Chains A and B, each alone.
Chain A
Amino acid sequence: RKEVEQDPGPFNVPEGATVAFNCTYSNSASQSFFWYRQDCRKEPKLLMSVYSSGNEDGRFTAQLNRASQYISLLIRDSKLSDSATYLCVVRGSGGGADGLTFGKGTHLIIQP
């Protein structure tokens, strides 16, 4: 079983729609959770950390379910600029105690 698993997509979504991604992780001892976005041939950029209580940042909402070992990201009122690959990232899950373990990403395309 992969350590961090995501649906690769692509998700083709009209502008203004709401889109949700899920991600599962295999190591129940994992300690920290993040969503990064990566544009083509660029570095990953931190989108948000994911806390047990859930957190929201503008149009983005992240949730963590430790019992089921999954993380979600919800994007409301999607913009063309949201088109990117979204990476589910876990710390303390096989990438060394402090290294991050990345999913392969979910590719999102927002269509006008």
Chain B
Amino acid sequence: NAGVMQNPRHLVRRRGQEARLRCSPMKGHSHVYWYRQLPEEGLKFMVYLQKENIIDESGMPKERFSAEFPKEGPSILRIQQVVRGDSAAYFCASSSSTGLAGRSSYEQYFGPGTRLTVT
């Protein structure tokens, strides 16, 4: 019963390169969320996706960041032309379509994260 999977676990990029982070949701989950945790900060919501649809990207930086969740394969968070300030832990979470009937809680389960270091 695999949980949320993310890879790579650690990624080092030089300034100006592209970073691609992958996330496979928990089996049976069709909703994917990306969060960023800067050093000494709390997690911040970035984007919410379902298969082939971006539902809410209100937390995504306006430039250089994009996300997708194709019909087949994992969700991808892509950061173009990385800068030092992009260094952070990026967590993916997934949830099922609905919570328990009558006690809907929309619980999200997190992957182990990808630690991005920009040098």
Contacts and interface: CB of A to CB of B under 8 A. Distances in A.
A98 B55 contact: yes
A43 B110 CA distance: 6
Contacts, number: 69
Interface residues of B, number: 30
B5 to A, nearest CB: 11
B45 interface: yes
B62 interface: no
B12 interface: no
B42 A105 contact: yes
Contact of B31 (A43, A44, A98, A105): A98
A46 B109 contact: yes
Contacts of A49: 103, 105, 107
Interface string B9-45: 0000000000000000000000101010000011111
Interface residues of A, number: 24
Nearest to A103: B42
B48 interface: yes
B108 interface: yes
A99 B48 contact: yes
Nearest to A42: B112
Listed residue (B55, B59, B107) with the most chain A CB atoms within 10 angstroms of its CB: B107
B48 to A, nearest CB: 5
Contacts of A100: 33, 35, 43, 45, 93, 108
Contacts of B43: 44, 87, 100, 102
16 contacts: A34-B105, A43-B112, A43-B113, A44-B110, A45-B110, A46-B107, A49-B105, A51-B103, A87-B43, A95-B45, A96-B45, A98-B33, A99-B47, A99-B56, A102-B44, A104-B41
